[in-house]
């Protein structure tokens, strides 16, 4: 009998510990998230997809912007997963690199702008919860996450562009033989 009581107690303990955590998430993060997502969704509608598309077409020519500003704009305005459609404006052999840059920015953007990838927040929110628990603001980490993200996507974009071109050249050589 005692075993069952212990089991029941243990189970209720887990449930109430989980419930407490859920309450914290719902009262702590959710209200701000709702307001922020709504405001940014509205801004995106007001700015209009067409204008973003036109502006982005002009950015694709410059290597520096193609793997920094362009993925940032794509994720901010079109969000995951529609941001990848912006890839149709870049050259064919740069598309994988652009996609790589978008992927790699899909989480760094969530620190400051959760709407960019609202379905996958917990990479950021999970770690940020630890910072909050220690009594610090998560803002310094969010800003650095974004900055580091921009540097990382520039590195990844260039690396992937380089290797894509190599592989394409090799594939073509093989086909010619």
Partner 1 sequence: MKPSVTITKGSSGWGGPLTVYETETRKVVASVTGGSIHPLAEKIASLLGVPVVDAFNNKVEPDTIIIAVVDCGGTLRCGVYPKMGVKTIDIHPISPSGPLSKYIKEDNFVSGTTLDCITQSGEAVPSEPEVSGQAVPEPAEIKESSPASGGNQFFNFITSMGRGIGSIVNVFYQAGRDTLDIVLKNILPFMIFVSIMVGIINYTGIGDLLANAIKPLAGSLPGLLGLSVFCAIPFLSPVLGPGAVIAQVVGVLLGVEIGKGTIPIAYSLPALFAINSQVGCDFVPVALTLAEAEDDTVSAGVPAMLFTRLVTGPAAVLVAYLLSFGLYS
Q: Which of residues 109-168 bind partner 1 (CB under 8 A)?
A: 118-134, 136, 140-141, 144-145, 147-148, 151-152, 155-156, 159-160, 162-164, 166-168
Q: Of 55-63, 64-72, 88-96, which part binds partner 1 (CB under 8 A)?
A: 88-96
- In the list 8, 19, 32, 64, the residue contacting partner 1 (rule: CB under 8 A) is 19
Six-digit token pair at 123?
Answer: 């990479």
Q: Answer yes or no whether residue 32 interacts with partner 1 by CB under 8 A.
A: no
Q: How far apart are CA 14 and CA 27, in angstroms?
A: 20
User: How many residues make contact with partner 1 (CB under 8 A)?
Assistant: 86
Q: Answer yes or no whether residue 3 interacts with partner 1 by CB under 8 A.
A: no
Question: Is 26 or 64 the residue whose CB approaches partner 1 more closely?
Answer: 26
- Can you list the alpha helix ranges (DSSP code H) found in the chain? 2-28, 30-47, 49-59, 63-66, 69-73, 95-105, 122-133, 139-176
Q: In the complex, what is the shortest distance from the CB of residue 25 to partner 1, in angstroms, rounded to a whole number? A: 5
Q: In the complex, what is the shortest distance from the CB of residue 163 to partner 1, in angstroms, rounded to a whole number? A: 4
Q: In the complex, what is the shortest distance from the CB of residue 73 to partner 1, in angstroms, rounded to a whole number? A: 15
Q: In the complex, what is the shortest distance from the CB of residue 108 to partner 1, in angstroms, rounded to a whole number? A: 8
Q: Answer yes or no whether residue 81 interacts with partner 1 by CB under 8 A.
A: yes
CA distance readout (Å), 97 to 85, 165, 173: 14, 10, 22
- CA dihedral sign, ordered 101, 103, 104, 110: positive
- Exposure string over 100-131, b if 16+ CB within 10 A, otherwise e: bbbbbbbbbbbbebbbbbbeebeebbeebbee
Q: Of 36-44, 54-62, 64-72, which part binds partner 1 (CB under 8 A)?
A: 36-44
The DSSP secondary-structure symbol of 138 reads: S
């Amino acid at each position: 009998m005692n075993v069952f009581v212990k089991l029941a107690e243990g189970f209720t303990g887990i449930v109430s510990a989980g419930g407490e955590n859920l309450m914290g998430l719902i009262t702590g993060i959710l209200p701000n998230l709702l307001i922020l997502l709504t405001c940014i969704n509205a801004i995106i509608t007001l700015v209009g997809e067409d204008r973003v598309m036109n502006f982005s077409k002009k950015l694709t020519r410059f290597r520096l912007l193609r793997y920094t500003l362009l993925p940032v704009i794509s994720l901010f305005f079109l969000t995951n997963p529609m941001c990848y459609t912006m890839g149709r404006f870049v050259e064919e052999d740069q598309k994988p690199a652009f996609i790589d840059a978008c992927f790699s920015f899909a989480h760094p953007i969530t620190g400051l702008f959760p709407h960019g990838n609202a379905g996958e927040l917990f990479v950021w929110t999970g770690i940020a919860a630890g910072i909050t628990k220690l009594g610090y603001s998560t803002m310094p980490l969010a800003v650095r996450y974004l900055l580091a993200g921009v540097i990382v996507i520039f590195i990844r974009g260039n690396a992937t562009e380089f290797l894509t071109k190599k592989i394409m050249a090799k594939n073509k050589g093989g086909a010619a033989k």
